[in-house]
């Protein structure tokens, strides 16, 4: 897999506006928090901005790390099962 762009989350903060822009550019959002995995299929059923932001942003109000864009899928947070399926 080729990495096209890497952004250091410690230096570049992506907030609410940027997180929603990332989500608008994909067909699917997969968010992991511990063992819990939430999947949004944005082509079939677009969730509200509030629902998207609830899984995209961390307690600081910035985009959660790690966040990866793999094709038309946005992967937020670390979930071993999710990473196993994608890679």
Number of domains in the chain: 1
Residue 1 lies in a domain: no
CA distance 29 to 74: 5
CA distance 36 to 11: 28
According to the model, what pLDDT value does residue 1 have? Answer: 66
Sheet holding 28-33, edge to edge: 36-41, 28-33, 73-76, 67-70
Q: Is 21 helix (H, G, I), strand (E, B) or coil?
A: helix
Q: Residue 47: which domain range? A: 16-86
Burial of residue 60 (CB within 10 Å: 0-12, 13-18, 19+) is exposed
Residue 42 lies in a domain: yes
Q: Is 19 helix (H, G, I), strand (E, B) or coil?
A: helix
Residue 9 lies in a domain: no
pLDDT over threshold 90, residue 52: yes
83: how many CB neighbours lie within 10 A of its CB?
Answer: 14
Summarised one tens digit per residue, pLDDT across range 15-30 is 999 999 999 999 999 9
């Amino acid at each position: 897999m080729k990495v096209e762009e890497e952004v250091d989350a410690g230096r570049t903060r992506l907030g609410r506006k940027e997180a929603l822009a990332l989500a608008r550019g994909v067909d699917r959002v997969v968010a992991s928090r511990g063992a819990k995995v939430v999947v949004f299929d944005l082509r079939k059923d677009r969730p509200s901005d509030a629902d998207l932001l609830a899984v995209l942003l961390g307690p600081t109000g910035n985009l959660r790390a790690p966040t990866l864009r793999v094709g038309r899928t946005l992967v937020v947070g670390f979930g071993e099962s999710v990473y196993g399926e994608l890679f």
